Amino acid sequence: MELKSLTLKVAEIAKHAGKIIKDNLGQISSSSIETKGLNDYVTDIDKASEEYIVTALSKLIPESGFIAEEGTSDKIGETYNWIIDPLDGTTNFIHGFYPFAVSIALMKKETIISGVVYEIGLDECFYAWTDGGAWLNGNRITVSTKSIFKNSLLATGFPYQAFEQLDNYIELLKYLTKNTQGLRRLGSAATDMAYVACGRFDGFYEYDLKSYDVAAGCILVIEAGGKLSDFSGGNNFIFGKEIVASNLKIFKDLSTIIKQYMKH
């Protein structure tokens, strides 16, 4: 399997899905919005995007399976599985607020080998494949070189369902507000990860995430020269519902502080 050409084909699929989404911006009626859980929404456009993506990807690797947010396919592949978020940032989309993105990753056994995040508002397609580097619209990208933690700009996401860690999260937020250049909350974890990969953010952390929120972003960050862990410092960041991502120079500081506040 030639990963570069495969990834570029996936990038085109992601961009076409993004066009489906953008063409429907501002046309969502309340009747087309379903509630999956507390503060967790899905629209007809999420479903249309996912159906298109699953069909297109099935042609690239017919034997592949899918881990897809809206459950279009429950097929499990023996070797290859796609991890898909057809519209990351649905709440933003419903309100007509950018960013929102399409996120597609390919997992071989237990390893992510290719990933694409297409941020629709700025028409920015981020992509990476194993040992191929990370790219944005054809240009090579790398994580930031920021080495002094207090000068770093971080991204995070607010918990919207799992509130048992909320007090710890707020205390961590207080600390980081006082000890960094600032924090941003965009509402799309896939975009946050892509922005770490290209150096716009120096680091990102969040909990109560799903695999399809972060899978593509993980290979972007790694191939851009960054580092990842879960809150405990381990490697369960794709399916473990929590992640720390940053450049190598501030990773120790960021992960140490998160461990102190976000105790299990």
Reported as a single tens digit per residue, the pLDDT across 202-218 is: 999 999 999 999 999 99
Q: Who has greater pLDDT, 264 or 70?
A: 70
| Same-domain check for residues 172 and 129 | no
Number of domains in the chain: 2
User: Looking at the predicted structure, is the pLDDT value of residue 1 above 80?
Assistant: no
| Same-domain check for residues 20 and 100 | yes
Are the CB atoms for 247 and 145 separated by under 8 Å? yes
User: Going by C-beta distance under 8 Å and a sequence separation of 6 or more, which residues neighbour residue 53?
Assistant: 13, 14, 17, 68, 84, 86, 102, 104
| Same-domain check for residues 209 and 98 | no
Are the CB atoms for 182 and 227 separated by under 8 Å? no
- Smallest CA-to-CA distance from 89 within 69, 71, 75, 106 is with 69
User: Looking at the predicted structure, is the pLDDT value of residue 10 above 60?
Assistant: yes
| Residue at a domain's end among 109, 141, 173 | 141
User: Looking at the predicted structure, is the pLDDT value of residue 228 above 90?
Assistant: yes
| Same-domain check for residues 62 and 159 | no
* CATH code: domain of residue 36: 3.30.540.10
Are the CB atoms for 85 and 50 separated by under 8 Å? no
Q: Which two tokens stand for residue 140?
A: 């090579």
| Residue at a domain's end among 141, 168, 195 | 141
- Pairing type for strands 153-156 and 203-207 reads parallel
Give me the domain span that covers residue 82.
3-141
**How many Cβ atoms from other residues are within 10 Å of residue 173's Cβ?**
15
| Same-domain check for residues 108 and 178 | no
| Same-domain check for residues 48 and 74 | yes
| Residue at a domain's end among 115, 141, 167 | 141
User: Residue 39: what pLDDT?
Assistant: 42
User: Residue 71: what pLDDT?
Assistant: 75
